[in-house]
Amino acid sequence: MRSIRILTLALVPALAVAAPAFAQDASTSTAADKRFAVVGGITHMEPSDPGNGLRVDGGPAPTLSASWYATENFAVELWGAADKFDHRVRSDSLGKLGTVQQQPIALSGQWHFGQAGQTFRPFVGLGYYESNFSNEDVAGLDGVVGLETAKGAIGTVGVDMNINETWFARTDVRYMHSRPEVRVAGQGTGEDLKLDPWTVGIGIGARF
């Protein structure tokens, strides 16, 4: 998928440059001097119930992010799933209807409160995301029913816990406004599926 290739191309150079920093526990520079950060972690996604007796179960996936700090407080983050989230679709009356997978990628502006070196540092973010759906197998129709790519706003609230000038732990919560159009045999139906998922993630990051 094109969006995942973009994410990979963005993260690989960052990780390569960061490697020398990872090897040093002590640094002569402070956290405020470092303008780039990478985070790897695990995220659980939980979609909202679409209504009409349908339920979509949540699931975990590994995630990666790369951030550039324009100032000590303002950062631009590229975030995405390194693998697909798996969802089981169920009906209150019929039970399991099938499965679907999705893989989001997002670009956000973030505001990090306080100073870079303080122990706990909360942040908020707002941006744009796209999430590609694949391997739709709903009601035994083997892919005849599909979902259009979801696009829209993403909001983030999180906190970093600094370990030292380089390393930190992160936990975050994200909300995506997700209304993909339902497609049948490749044709749009004009009907949107209200998913609006929340995610909860934890990870380990490094600055350089």
Kindly report the number of other CB atoms within 10 A of residue 3's CB atom.
18
pLDDT given at position 39: 98
pLDDT given at position 114: 95
Range with lowest mean pLDDT among 21-35, 87-101, 125-139, 194-208 = 21-35
Range with lowest mean pLDDT among 85-94, 119-128, 193-202 = 85-94
Q: So where are the chain's domains?
A: 2-23+34-167+180-207
**Residue 160: which of 117, 120, 125 has the closest Cα?**
120
Rounded to 5 degrees, φ, ψ at 4 are -75, -35
Averaged pLDDT for residues 73-89: 96
Task: Express as a percent the part of the chain with pLDDT over 70.
Answer: 82
What letter would DSSP give residue 20? H
Q: What is the per-residue pLDDT across 145-179, written as a single tens digit (0 to 9) for each?
A: 778 899 999 999 999 999 999 999 999 999 999 98
pTM of the model: 0.81
Q: Is pLDDT above 80 for 3?
A: no
Q: Does domain 2-23+34-167+180-207 have CATH number 1.10.1450.10?
A: no
For all residues of the chain together, what is the average pLDDT? Answer: 85
